Amino acid sequence: MKPESTDLGTEFNPDDPTLHLEYLYGPQWRDVAQIIERATQLTPDEREQLNAAAGNGLQEGLSGVPGSAGLAGLFAGLGGASGDSQPTQIAAETAKEFGRARHIQIAGTIAGQAVSPTSGPGADDMSGLLKSLTSIGALVTVNRAVTAAALGDLVGRGRFTREVYDALMRPWTDAIR
């Protein structure tokens, strides 16, 4: 397909993969894609570090979950256990304010698929389910990192400060060197 010319003098090529990545992840798509790509290559040691970074492990997160809260309560418990629910909330508000909510939702979903052990032996049975549950902390940590990355160009706007960005990103950067 022949690229079309735009009013800005640049060519629009609907087959350009970067166009699709920017549509999915926003203007910071390179940073988001880099984290997602690295998340697909996590070693068991790195997974363990990311789980710990999410809030002193899965057990602590489970202890604060009311009996009927289910998976949503688990994620809320992990956010509260790590003490950074405020940065997470600020990021969500910033994403909504600047039209990036869809970008962080998509990035979080793709990051979750990258972290989740869904292939290989045991992926379709109970051991696969238990293995997935042991990756929830890693999933939360990676999700926070892609959220920060997707909003990285908004640092300094409103309540999304460098401190908020760093609080979301630090567990990822500390575990993945």
**What are the pLDDT digits (tens) for 137-149?**
888 999 999 999 9
- Of 33-37, 41-45, 83-87, 137-141, least confident by mean pLDDT is 83-87
**HEC string of 128-166?**
HHHHHHCCHHHHHHHHHHHHHHHCHHHCCECCECHHHHH
Per-residue confidence (pLDDT) for residue 161, from 0 to 100: 96
- Give the span between the Cα atoms of 33 and 25, in whole angstroms: 8
pTM, entire model: 0.68
| pLDDT, the chain, mean | 74
Q: Which residues contact 140 (CB under 8 A, 6 or more apart)?
A: 54, 55, 75, 78, 79
- Give the span between the Cα atoms of 56 and 42, in whole angstroms: 19
Q: Which comes out higher in pLDDT, residue 83 or 95?
A: 95
Amino acid at 169: M
Give me 159's structure tokens.
């309540």
Query: What average pLDDT does the segment 57-86 reach?
Result: 45
- Give the span between the Cα atoms of 48 and 45, in whole angstroms: 5
Q: Is residue 11 predicted with pLDDT exceeding 90?
A: no
Amino acid at 134: T
Per-residue confidence (pLDDT) for residue 19, from 0 to 100: 60
> Taken in order 20, 28, 44, 59, is the CA torsion positive or negative?
negative
Q: Is residue 69 predicted with pLDDT exceeding 80?
A: no
| Contact between residue 150 and residue 106 where contact means Cβ atoms under 8 Å apart | no
| Contact between residue 104 and residue 150 where contact means Cβ atoms under 8 Å apart | yes
Query: Residue 116 in 3-state DSSP?
Result: coil
Q: Is residue 88 predicted with pLDDT exceeding 70?
A: yes
Query: What average pLDDT does the segment 167-172 reach?
Result: 94
Per-residue confidence (pLDDT) for residue 4, from 0 to 100: 47
Query: What average pLDDT does the segment 15-34 reach?
Result: 74
